[in-house]
Structures are given as C-alpha cells and as structure tokens.
C-alpha cells in the first residue's frame, strides 16, 4: 500500500514536469506501446486487441488520419514480425479518406511490393530495401543485423521470409533478437519456422534440437 501511495505521489509530482502532450496523444501512444509489448510477448489476444482498440480510439479523437494509418500499419508490421498473416483492418478506409504517401509506401514495403520507394521509407529501412530486392541471403542477414532497432529487424526478417529469402543466418538472427528482448510469441514463431527450415533441409538433428527448445518454452 505504501508503495502505491508513493507511486501516486511520484506520478503526481512528475506530471508537473516538462511540456505536456495532448491527453489523446499520451494515452494513444502509451496504449500503442503496451500493444506492441503485449503482442510480441504473447499476452492473450483479448488483452492485446483491447490495447490496440483503445490506441485507435484515442487517435480517432484527434481526427488525425495520418497517425491512425500509422497505428494500423504498426499492427500489420507486428503481425509480419511474428510471421503471421498481416491484416489490413481499417487501413484501406483510412487511406481512402486521406492518402498519406509515406504510409501507403510503407504498406507496399510490408507487402514486399517492388513499387515501394526507398526515399519514402523511414530512414532505417532505406539501406535494407536494395538487399531485400536482390543480393544474397547472407548479405541480407548482415544488413538486417546492422539495424539498431530490434523490432525493425524482425519486421524486415518477416518481409524477407514472405519474399522467400529464407536462410539459416536470418532465422538465427531473428531468434536471437526475439530471445534477447523476451518476445516470447515472436520467439516461438521464429523457432517453429527454423525447425521447419531444418526439417526441409534434411538437418534432422538440428530440427530436433529446435523442437526440444520449443517444447520447453511453449505454453
């Protein structure tokens, strides 16, 4: 109880510091961050979806369709990062109401569409695009490893897998990234894909080792 009291006092005093963001932005941002963490760590779908819905509702309060589009694209990117099928949700409606070239371009990038333009992508992805389109799979892994942002690494790795650019170093990098961040859902997804990859390559011993790891950590 004393800790909660201390926390409330602390939060109240902290709320007096620094410039204030609009409540919808703070709440929307926080909910979106919670959604990302909950999604990647594998919390129940009902909880993660509730976080996402709340984030979208908060952004809708501002009527800022650019941000709303980004929220939906974030969801799709996370689905790709855990090797799930991306769902566009309301993005098409948002984009039809107010097209934002950068958002539409990011959607193309997520889909692996060759029409995606490098210049319109967030800066960290610009160097990755040529390797995604051509170059060897080992080069691609090296480029992805250079991405500082770990979520971006998984997103690009997911796009690479969807474009049939699979390789052992890519899987190991994705597994390592998910593992280091404690993103259990992503970790299990990549481990399962790695197991299938080993199985298909005839490396039964490695596949069995990955399977044992999955069995230990799976819920």
Task: Give the footprint of another protein on this chain (CB under 8 A).
Answer: 3-4, 6-7, 10-11, 13-14, 17-19, 21, 25-26, 28-30, 32, 36, 44-47, 50, 59, 67, 70-71, 73-74, 77-78, 102-103, 106, 122, 151-152, 155
CA atoms within 13 A on the CB side of 100: 17
DSSP 201: T
Q: Between 50 and 214, whose beta carbon lies closer to another protein? A: 50
Q: Between 77 and 175, whose beta carbon lies closer to another protein? A: 77
CB of residue 198 to another protein, shortest distance in Å: 29
Q: Between 69 and 170, whose beta carbon lies closer to another protein? A: 69
Residue 171's CB is within 10 A of a number of other CB atoms, namely 22
Confirm if 40 and 185 have CB atoms less than 8 A apart.
yes
- What token pair was written down for 103? 């958002």
Rounded-to-integer distance, Cα 100 and Cα 192, Å: 36
CB of residue 14 to another protein, shortest distance in Å: 6
CB of residue 208 to another protein, shortest distance in Å: 30
């Amino acid at each position: 109880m004393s800790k909660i009291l201390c926390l409330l006092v602390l939060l109240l005093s902290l709320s007096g510091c620094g410039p204030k963001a609009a409540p919808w932005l703070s709440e929307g941002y926080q909910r979106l961050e919670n959604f990302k963490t909950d999604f990647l760590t594998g919390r129940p779908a009902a909880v993660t979806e509730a976080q996402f819905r709340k984030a979208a509702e908060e952004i809708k309060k501002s009527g800022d369709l650019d941000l709303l589009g980004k929220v939906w694209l974030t969801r799709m990117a996370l689905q790709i990062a855990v090797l799930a099928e991306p769902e566009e949700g309301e993005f098409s409606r948002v984009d039809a109401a107010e097209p934002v070239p950068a958002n539409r371009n990011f959607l193309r990038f997520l889909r692996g569409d060759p029409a995606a333009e490098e210049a319109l992508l967030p800066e960290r992805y610009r160097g990755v695009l040529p390797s995604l389109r051509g170059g060897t799979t080992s080069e691609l892994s090296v480029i992805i490893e250079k991405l500082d942002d770990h979520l971006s690494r998984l997103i690009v790795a997911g796009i690479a897998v969807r474009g049939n650019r699979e390789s052992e170093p890519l899987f190991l990098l994705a597994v390592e990234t998910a593992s280091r961040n404690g993103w259990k859902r992503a970790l299990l997804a990549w481990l399962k894909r790695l197991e299938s990859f080993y199985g298909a390559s005839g490396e039964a011993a490695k596949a069995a080792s990955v399977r044992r790891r999955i069995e230990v950590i799976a819920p």
